[in-house]
Amino acid sequence: MDDNKLKKMGVWVIVMLFAVYFVSLIAICVFLELPMLAVVVYAVMMFLFLVVLAYEGWQRIKEIDGGLEDAVDNY
């Protein structure tokens, strides 16, 4: 497995770990029988955070494909 594929896989593993973590937190809120409005608001916030995280992961994949993963000059 080449180095770029490993880096790409690492990005998606992190995104998926966060997704599992967020789903488990929402499930805990449901099992604790919190008010439904609070659970829905929390779920929407976590979903939006996950969307942003997935977008940033996609941007990171594009950086890896473009060879910019070690370009310190961009920062």
68 Cβ contact partners less than 8 Å away, ≥ 6 residues apart: 74
pTM for the whole structure? 0.77
22 Cβ contact partners less than 8 Å away, ≥ 6 residues apart: 46, 47, 49, 50
Instruction: Please write the tens of the pLDDT for every residue from 5-15.
Output: 888 899 999 99
Instruction: Please write the tens of the pLDDT for every residue from 24-74.
Output: 999 999 999 889 999 999 999 999 999 999 999 999 888 888 876 565 555
